[in-house]
Chain A
Amino acid sequence: RKEVEQDPGPFNVPEGVTVAFNCTYSNSASQSFFWYRQDCRKEPKLLMSVYSSGNEDGRFTAQLNRASQYISLLIRDSKLSDSATYLCVVNTNAGKSTFGDGTTLTVKP
């Protein structure tokens, strides 16, 4: 079983809808969690951190559920510019940083 499992996608959606991505992790000692965005042929860049209390940044909301060991990302009112691959990341207290395989989102007019 992979340490970090992510919705395989791809997601093809029209503009304006709400999209949700989920990610589960297996190591209960995991300490910090993030969502990254990766555009085609570019390096991944931080989208937002994920906390148990939730984290909202404009149209984006990230949530952590430690009991069920999953993290989520919600994108509201999706836009063409949201088209990218979204990666969840889980860090352990041993310093290891593991990425999910990524979910590709395509938003169409």
Chain B
Amino acid sequence: DVKVTQSSRYLVKRTGEKVFLECVQDMDHENMFWYRQDPGLGLRLIYFSYDVKMKEKGDIPEGYSVSREKKERFSLILESASTNQTSMYLCASSLFLNEAFFGQGTRLTVV
């Protein structure tokens, strides 16, 4: 079975902190994605990556950056966390044009 693992289920950070969300997949998938999910707004794509060191902006990249130094790992970085980044963050991976498999999600609260 495909396994996508996010480093934390719950995270509380202070405004202005630098926050790292880590995601690891074990199926050699080329594509990896970061989404955030908020009530009434669905899943919104922040960034995606189709190869090591490659990244593409999604629909809401502002305030975020990403890093993909190894194929299995995709990190989401909040350079200076703000309260409006309180959300559920979901990582996913897939083979090109195939279905995506999700991690269990990280519920981030910025206080």
Contact = CB atoms under 8 A, between A and B. Distances in A.
Interface stretch (B13-21, B65-73, B76-84, B98-106): B98-106
A46 B100 CA distance: 8
B35 interface: yes
A43 B100 CA distance: 11
A43 B105 contact: yes
Contacts of A87: 42-43
A69 interface: no
A89 B94 CA distance: 13
Contact of B100 (A3, A6, A31, A97): A97
Secondary structure of the A contact surface, majority rule: strand
Contact of B96 (A49, A89, A95, A101): A95
Given A95-B56, A96-B56, A99-B35, A89 B50 contact: no
B108 interface: no
B104 A95 contact: no
Interface in B37-93: 40-43, 45, 48, 50, 56, 58-59, 90, 92
Q: Chain A interface residue count: which class?
A: 20 to 34
How many chain B residues sit at the interface, stated as a range, is 20 to 34
A96 B33 CA distance: 9
B31 interface: yes
A97 B33 CA distance: 8
A87 B99 CA distance: 13
Contacts of B102: 43-45
A22 to B, nearest CB: 15
A43 B104 contact: yes
The 6 closest A-B pairs by CB, nearest first: A101-B42, A43-B102, A99-B43, A95-B50, A32-B97, A46-B99
